[in-house]
Structure 1
């Protein structure tokens, strides 16, 4: 009797297990919302808000910038351009932002006296007050490399500048890539000639840095050697080479009073830059 009960109990357990297994199989085979949706890598998935619209901040920002229209009353002061476009390309969609920036410049119909092209050292400077009575356009962009400035050189075609000043290179130059940077810089100068033909071009040397920044980027000897290359490239194209390095260097580093952090310029540093530039420009 006992053996019969055990056998019956085992059969019941087997039947229950089979039923549960069947239920699991049916549920797994049932099509669901997640399986009907297109599967994307996690890196491409974008959160959606309650209205079914993308809540990804970068997509929202770049969509807005693609359709950006400059307000008509913003053209009253040409220097408003600099305030609008203080973007770090490493933290934004470079192509979309650059496209919107150029579109804005086209709408302004600018005839500038001087256009500055460069990286964070350029964009951080309030350059207009140094040139009373002249229109200045600041096309600097934080974090930009030689290639980055090259990619934006077509903006010069929108501003019709009589003079173009370029200062860049520190964000790309390293102790082991001088030859590569030479090719990049030559391409940049060629692009300036293409997009701003007839302009007087002033090519500034790379500035010295303090020891901590030299450890991060390149040592002073590399900077000095590359400045000699910049001078050669500029003069070969009939451009004016502006030796900033000699006026800023002290014991192979940048003069402390000219910098806020060993790399970027202080107010005294911008005063010195403009003083040297004036010597070559006027």
Structure 2
């Protein structure tokens, strides 16, 4: 009888160990402190750049950084504040410098790298709200424009951490659209970049994530036709 009981105890202990391991496997780790390698260097350059209340700031990651906005839009006052690889926490860390310049407009596109790094959607949304609150508090006359996230295209097989997470993009975009209630102008980029399979159009990207000039031209046309630059 004692031997039988011992076997039961061992068996139950094994189940607990396996269950504990399974539970731990479900905990996805994420890091709010991640910053791209050249983050500090680029931020320092941004701080040195003269500022004007007429500035139109484009704030985000590599998708924002990938074009010359002043040239693309024929707007000398357009300032590119995109940093490749940046996440919402990185934007929050460098946001005060943008706010201090009290620009006329800020266009924001950020979050796809958060998704790729498994930062929870609720945390990303909270950071969106904090970005808006801080701009509103520090530069009341600045007009805020928030872009929905772009789709991705896994067929390029280059940014695997960004692929297969469409449900996160869709959820965040649905929440971004609700930010309209906070006196923020929403620019819904997402549907304009979709192909028939709900992927980023292959003819607008070089790698399934970043845009080529044709992609930026679509973006530019949306901004101009939507009257967002006036």
TM class, shorter-chain normalised? 0.7 to 0.9
* CA distance 1:249–1:133, shift in 2 (3 Å): closer
Question: 1:59-138 counterparts in 2 under 5 A?
Answer: 89-92=35-38, 94-95=39-40, 98=43, 100-101=44-45, 103-105=47-49, 108-138=50-80
Are residues 1:225 and 2:171 paired? yes
Mapped partners of 1:235, 1:263: distance in 2: 26
The aligned length equals: 190
Answering whether residue 127 of structure 2 is matched by residue 184 of structure 1, we say: yes
Q: Distance in 1 between matches of 2:68 and 2:223?
A: 15
* 1:153 maps onto 2:95 in alignment: yes
Going from structure 1 to structure 2, the CA distance change for 1:127 and 1:176 (only over 3 Å counts) comes to closer
1:207 corresponds to = 150
| In 2: Cα distance, 1:199 partner to 1:264 partner | 28
Please list every run of 5 or more consecutive structure 1 residues that lacks an aligned counterpart in the other structure: 1-88
1:260 paired residue among 206, 214, 218: 206
Separation of aligned partners in 2, 1:103 and 1:245: 31
SS at match of 1:142: coil
Moved more, 174-183 or 271-280: 174-183
Q: Distance in 2 between matches of 1:274 and 1:119?
A: 17
Higher Cα Rg: structure 1 or 2?
A: 1
Give me the TM-score of the superposition, normalised by structure 2.
0.74
Q: 1:117 to 1:133 in 2, by over 3 A?
A: closer
When the two structures are superposed, what TM-score results if normalisation uses the length of structure 1? Answer: 0.61
Q: Distance in 2 between matches of 1:256 and 1:225?
A: 23
SS of 1:171's partner is: helix
Q: Which has the higher contact order (CA 8 A, sep 6+)?
A: 2
Q: Give the deviation of 1:96 after TM superposition.
A: 6.6
